[in-house]
Structure 1
Amino acid sequence: MSEEMNQVNQKIQDLTPEEKDAILENFNEFKSYLNDQLEKGKKLGLSDEFLAKGAKFVADHLAKNEEPRNREQKLLQEMWKVADEDAKKHIAYVLVKMVQSE
């Protein structure tokens, strides 16, 4: 795992249960949180490709460790389950673009 992905993983692990609940309870909150993190990454000079890799890493973590809390998360989880690795990369890239466009 690259140093950057280790940092993403650490950021996930550092969230308190209350912070995680606040982010995951509402899809708009999730998108807002993701957008904030992407903005921080862009300020550090990270490419869209790297940001999409980070989003894929987070999505993998969520799919393995969290139950969907709303219909949008359920849809993403169902798509993630049937997607191959290439499709997951595309889904992550689209998710990045979606939150950046808002």
Structure 2
Amino acid sequence: MSEHNHVVNKDGEVTLGKVDDALNRIDDERKEEILQSFESFKKYLGERVKLAQSMGMSEETMTQAAEKVGNYLAAKEDPRNREEKLLQELWNAGDQEHRHALAHMLVRLAQKAH
């Protein structure tokens, strides 16, 4: 896959506009594996946060990416468990500021999970 398909390029620059494309490239079996339980979701998110930190990404940039993921999940995926249902309801109830705060909390949750 060429570099132009990645959210982060070889220089460590982030293109948040490519987050949706990256999410759409995850095959259905892998999505199901990630979303099957809240623990597997936290583990996946934790791995991504750890990778982002190792590349020097700021918490704010990770939060912006988490917002993109939250928007994607709320619009395109049905919750697989109670925790995901709660997250979806909180996401949908909030405005942009609330969603940003929730994304920050998810990034921090992922940091503690790893």
TM-score of the superposition, structure 2-length normalised? 0.83
Off by >2 Å, runs of 4+ in structure 1: 6-11
| Two-structure CA RMSD over aligned residues (Å) | 1.5
SS in 2 for 1:15: coil
**Alpha-carbon distance in 2 for matches of 1:43, 1:8:** 18
Q: 1:65 aligns with which of 69, 76, 81?
A: 76
- Name the amino acid aligned to 1:49: E
Larger Rg: 2
Percentage of identical aligned residues: 34
Offset of residue 3 of structure 1 = 5.2
Q: 1:81 aligns with which of 92, 99, 103?
A: 92
- Name the amino acid aligned to 1:95: L
2:67 corresponds to which residue?
Answer: 56
1:101 corresponds to which residue?
Answer: 112
**Alpha-carbon distance in 2 for matches of 1:9, 1:83:** 21
Count of matched residue positions in the alignment of Structure 1 and Structure 2: 101
2:103 corresponds to which residue?
Answer: 92
Offset of residue 43 of structure 1 = 1.3
- Where do 5+ consecutive residues of structure 2 fail to align? 1-12
Q: 2:55 aligns with which of 36, 44, 53?
A: 44
